[in-house]
Amino acid sequence: MKRIYLFCDQGMSTSLLASRMQDVANTHLLPIEILAFSNKKIQKIVDEKHPDVILLGPQVKYMFQQVVDKYDKETPVMLIDQDDYGMMDGEKVLKKALLLLKKRKEQGEQEK
């Protein structure tokens, strides 16, 4: 099962987006767990649950480079597009996250 975890200031508004993304994944029978958390828990969540993709909400855009520097070697990091976030477009965000995961996997295979 793949884990896609969203992080924002409190984890509240991203919970709705995560729920919509999970609904899309479930509809397509994709083995994916999508959850939202406060950015204050990112270290603990990454250490304990080892997500496959880290998504940051637009409201914590200021953290993006710091999160990339710390985690992106092991776990791809993406900033959620502000328009997709505003529309709570779970399908679009899920597609972008899965594309990011696919690209990372292909890069890893090319390096071997």
The C-alpha atoms of residue 104 and residue 107 are separated, in whole angstroms, by 5
49: β partners: none
Q: Which of 8, 34, 46, 55 is catalytic?
A: 8
What is the helix (H) or strand (E) element at residue 49, kind and residue range?
helix 42-49
Per the annotation, the verdict on 34 as an active-site residue is no
Catalytic residues: 8
